[in-house]
Structures are given as C-alpha cells and as structure tokens.
Amino acid sequence: MDLMCTVLAYFGTDLSREEFDAYLARTQERGPDDSKIVALPHGGFLGFQRLAIMGLTPEGMQPFCLHGSFAVCNGELYGFRPMKRELEDKGYVFQSGSDCELILPLYREYGTDMFRRLDAEFACVIYDGETGGVVAARDPIGIRPLFYGYSASGGLAIASEARSLIGWVDEILPFPPGCYLQDGKFHRYRDPAAFDAPCPDQGDAMLRGIRERLIAAVEKRLDADAPLGFLLSGGLDSSLVCAIAAKQSKKPIRTFAVGMEKDAIDLKYARQVADYLGAEHTEFYMTPEMVEEALPEVISRLGTYDITTIRASMGMYLLCREIRRHTDVRVLLTGEVSDELFGYKYTDFAPSAEAFQEESCKRVRELYAYDVLRADRCIADNSIEARVPFGDLEFVRYVMSIDPELKMNRYGKGKYLLRKAFEGDWLPEEILWREKAAFSDAVGHSMVDDLKAYAERRYPGDAWRDACSAFTPFPPFTKESLLYRRIFERYYPGQGDMIPGFWMPNPEWEGCRVDDPSARVLKNYGDSGK
C-alpha cells in the first residue's frame, strides 16, 4: 500500500521533462522513498513519489503499466486481497504486494464502474492506452487530496497538492470528491452523505451497529508493514480509536499528544487515556514563539486561509514534525470526521431534525476542504501516512442513515449515541462523557490568543478593514483572518477559490450568529474548555 504519496499528471505537449520533474519535486516529502516519471505516448507525463507502507519491494513502484495503459494512485484499497484473487482467477499476474496495482486490471474489467465497487481512500489517474483518453477519480469523502487545472495551452494537469501546479496552471481547483473525470467531464459515482434507506435498527441494535462498524473501521486500518502510531487529544474521538486499537494490538500502542506549555486542556486527559490503555505515550509542548515561527510554513502546506483549519493545524503539524524527526512511526491514526456525523457544539442550536441532517450532509460533503485537508497536510507533509477510521465509507453511510432526531443533543450531552455505544471497559467514564473542547482550545486557550495578538501587532489601528476588501472571494473579516489570507496569497496568488469559504457555525440558526469559528464563543460552551 503506497499511501500518502504524490501523484502528478500532465496531458499536453508543451511541458519538458525537466519542468515536470521540478513541479513533482515540490512535494517530495509526501513520497520520500522513491520517484518515477513515465512519458506518455500522446504527450505529457505521469509522475509518482512513494512513501512505502506495504508492498515495500521495487515492483510496487508506480506508475503501473498494463497493455499500454498507465496508472498512478495515492490510496488504500480495503479488502484488496479477495479482489486480487478474483482477478488472478481471470488470468491477471501481479508483480507486487501493492494494493494499487489492482487499479488497471479493475479498470480493464469494469471501466469507470470500478469506482462504485471500491471500499477505498484514493486519488488516481489512468491513461487509457487503447483510447488515448484520461480517467481520474477521488474517494467519496476526499480523504486523499487531488487538484486539477489547465495550462496556458489547454493541457490538463492533475496533482496531489496545489503546490505542484502553482506558476503554470492559472486556476487551481479541488478535484470534487466522489467523482471521476472522463472525456473532460465530471461524473459523480457516490455522494458520501447519501444512503439508500433509513437505518432500520433501533435501541441496542443501533448502538451495536455504530460500535461494530467503528471497530471494523479501525481494524482494517491497522494493517501496515511500517510502524503505527496514534494522535491522542484526550477527546472522545481519538480516545475511542486508541481504545479499539489497544484491544486489537499484541503490544502497547504508541500515542502522541501536543499542547501549549501552559493551559493545555487535553494533555492531562490524553495522559489519563494513555495510562488506562497501557500505551507508550509521548507529549510535545509548544511555545508562542514556535507557533508564530511555524505559521507561514503551516499555511503554505495547508493551502488554505480558513481560520479554524489553520488554528487546529498548528499543534498537529508541529507534533507530526516531531514524530517524524524523533521516531520511526510512519503511519498515524486520527479521530477526524466524527463531528460531522454526530454533531458539533453549534449543532445543539439546530432548529429541527431536518436542519441537523442538512447541516451534517453539508459538513460531510465539505470535509475535503477542512478537517481531512488538515489531517492530510499535517501528517503527509511530514512523510507520514494518515488513516481516518471515522471516515470509513460503511461507517459514514450507517451513521448518516440514522434518524437525525436521535443524533441531536436531546440528552444534555453531545454525541450521545457514540458515547452510549462504547459504554463498558473501553475508556474511563470521565473521558467517555467529558464535554468536547474546541480543537484550538484543547491545545491551550493561549494559542488562539497568541495568534490574535500577533495579528494585532501586524495590523494596529483600523486601516486593516480597507485591506480586507482587496480579496475575493470570501474577504477577511478580522485581523487574524487578514494575516492568514496575506500569507496564503504569498504562496497561492489568486487561488482563493480553492476553498468553499470560511468554516463557521450556521449563521441562520439562533445562537450561532458569531464572528469567530471557535466553539468557545457559543453560549453553550460551558465546561467544555475545562
């Protein structure tokens, strides 16, 4: 499995091999183990940088070739071994242990219908040797990154990160999740928020359905030939992932937590969880100086100006950098995607079950631009692979199909169903039922305050308001957001359309009309930040 690798493709005749190689090299940290470029028969190139996790032999290196067709894939195809045996029965001979080698045989057998068959997190590009056509696709949630655009001559360019396209592609756009591109047109093959029928389970059966599917999601992501670790905030979601993994592991799991030197809410809870699970636990402390110094680097890696994404990335990025420098861990499991399914603090204000479900659908469909973008860049750009169990397609489908009335906070506690599903010996009661802290607060209330103070020093007085109007779309509306947008424009000039807007609580709901994305500004935050 070649996860957290780099894909770069260009279909045109006006780009030299040397130029293509330089664009591919911009993201070498995503795939530091090997690099390969193939020149295509009708012009253009397919390039790949590898971070080897499974199928570690040279034969697993991409691009793969089959009967004149070529493919590159950054991803993981769950359950690939039965699919591989089925294809072998049809006469295919595989050269490696890489799951991604199945892409071309699957395409040959099923065409674009193959994407509906995959239980996978992936971004792939296929050059069809028979037709000379191009097919590209991305997983339904967008866990694997992919961007596209066109050169000045009209050639199609596709890349794992926007960084590879800066300077030679005028407009860079995110490749829509759950879609494939063929003959220049996008086709949706799966909507991550959709389900065939409402969940028939009730009561204990529903709780069991949640529990069993999350356990299965974690289990399938423990398969790796490289050392595994776990990001542990001490919050419910990451703690559950760790608890499930600890029960499956024959040796202590390795957990990592980050916080400011003062007022880090989650560090004590992370330590409590690690002790309870018997984990090998490591803590990393940040200072205001480290946060300020890392800010341009973090924004350049993220490729966003969204306030909450940047705040939440600071600790995660610095922690992953330390993990890369000081450990042999090359795979990290995280707790992202739970909030979009079970609710945020602000969704307590949803006026109806229908409104709650509509908001959940919106958040799931936009995950690619926020939480999973953060997880990918913070982890992958430190040469580590990210795995997101809550983003498992079957788990997401099941939870989205549950009656939204049951997912709303009618219990005086958010994420009640998820908590209830894991009652027992999974976690300490204090952890299982603790209030959720805002992500950026969890590493320390002072971090956001430090960032705001830094922005205030950069833009004293009121002149900053006029500066905000120069940016479209989604102009900055605070000094902090202006700071982030200016740094973003330094690295991605004129590419503001890459994100769908600022992540904010739904302003149409009473109690959610706020001027900051942090849950700490909501009146129901209560003891969450303690």
Mean pLDDT of 172-187: 97
**111-116 average pLDDT score:** 98
Does the pLDDT at position 122 exceed 60?
yes
Q: Sorting pLDDT into bands at 50, 70 and 90, what band is 33?
A: confident
How sure is the predictor about 54, in pLDDT bands with cuts at 50, 70 and 90? Answer: low
Average pLDDT over residues 505-527: 89
Print burial letters for 392-403: b (CB count within 10 Å at least 16), e (below 16).
Answer: bbebbbbbbbbe
Asked whether residue 330 carries a pLDDT value surpassing 70, the answer given is yes
What is the pLDDT confidence band of residue 5, given thresholds at 50, 70 and 90? confident
Sheet holding 173-174, edge to edge: 34-39, 45-50, 6-11, 156-159, 147-150, 173-174
Interacting residues of 470 by C-beta distance below 8 A, sequence separation 6+:
none
pLDDT for 38 equals 97
Confidence (pLDDT) at 520: 83
**CATH topology match: 6-188 vs 203-498:** no
Q: Residue 370 and residue 299: Cα distance in Å, rounded?
A: 13
Confidence of residue 441 (pLDDT cuts 50, 70, 90): low
Q: Which pLDDT belongs to residue 52?
A: 64
Over residues 339-348, the mean pLDDT reads 96
Give the residue-averaged pLDDT of 46-58: 74
pLDDT beyond 80 at 420: yes
Q: How high is the pLDDT of residue 388?
A: 96
Q: What is the 3-state secondary structure (H, E, C) of 263-313?
A: CCHHHHHHHHHHHHHCCEEEEEEECHHHHHHHHHHHHHHHCCCCHHHHHHH
Contacts of residue 486, defined as CB under 8 A and 6 or more positions apart, other chains included, come to none
Say whether pLDDT at 486 is over 90: yes
Q: Rounded CA gap, 187 and 180, in Å? A: 5
Give percent above pLDDT 90 in the chain.
85
The stretch 115-130 carries a mean pLDDT of: 96
Percent of the chain with pLDDT over 70: 95
The residue among 267, 280, 287, 284 whose CA lies nearest residue 319 is 284
pLDDT tens, residue by residue, 356-369: 999 999 999 999 99
Question: What is the mean predicted confidence (pLDDT) over 208-228?
Answer: 94
Q: How confident is the model at residue 4 (pLDDT cuts 50, 70, 90)?
A: low
Residue 2: pLDDT band (50, 70, 90) is: very low
Determine the length of the chain. 530
Q: How confident is the model at residue 525 (pLDDT cuts 50, 70, 90)?
A: confident
The dihedrals phi and psi of 425, each to the nearest 5 degrees, come to: -100, 20
Q: Which of 46-55, 337-346, 416-425 bottoms out in mean pLDDT, i.e. has the lowest?
A: 46-55
Range scoring the smallest mean pLDDT among 35-49, 255-269, 353-367: 255-269
How confident is the model over 483-497, as a mean pLDDT? 97
The amino acid present at 440, given as its one-letter code, is: S
Question: Could you give the 3-state DSSP secondary structure of residue 97?
Answer: coil
For 426-443, what is the mean pLDDT? 80
Can you state the angle between helices 393-401 and 353-365, rounded to 10 degrees? Answer: 160
In the prediction, which pLDDT does 235 show? 92
CA distance 358 to 216: 27
The predicted pLDDT at position 1 comes to 45
Show the CA angle centred on residue 456, arms to residues 309 and 312, nearest 5°.
Answer: 15
Residue 3 has pLDDT above 60, yes or no: no
> Residues 5, 100, 320, 512: which is the catalytic one?
5
Tell me: domain 203-498, CATH 3.40.50.720, correct? Answer: no
d(CA 410, CA 400): 18
- In three-state secondary structure terms, 529 is helix
Instruction: Tell me the backbone φ, ψ of residue 112, rounded to 5 degrees.
Output: -70, -10
Q: Is the dihedral of CA 448, 449, 451, 456 positive or negative?
A: positive
State mean pLDDT over 370-376. 96
The torsion angle over the Cα atoms of residues 339, 340, 345 and 350, rounded to 10 degrees, is -150
Contact 386, 452 (CB under 8 A): no
Fold of 6-188: Glutamine Phosphoribosylpyrophosphate, subunit 1, domain 1 (3.60.20)
Q: How far apart are CA 490 and CA 494, in angstroms?
A: 9
Q: Categorise residue 57: left if φ over 0, alpha if ψ from -120 to 50, beta otherwise.
A: beta
> Among 396, 403, 299, 317, which Cα is nearest to 354's?
403
Residue 451 pLDDT more than 90?
yes
What are residue 22's phi and psi, to 5 degrees?
A: -65, -40
**What's the whole-number mean pLDDT along residues 421-430?**
97
380: nearest Cα among 123, 110, 148: 123
Q: Does residue 179 have an active-site annotation?
A: no
Per domain, the residue ranges of the chain are: 6-188, 203-498
Residues ≥6 apart with Cβ < 8 Å to 56: 97, 225
pLDDT tens digits, one per residue of 145-171: 999 999 999 999 999 999 999 999 999
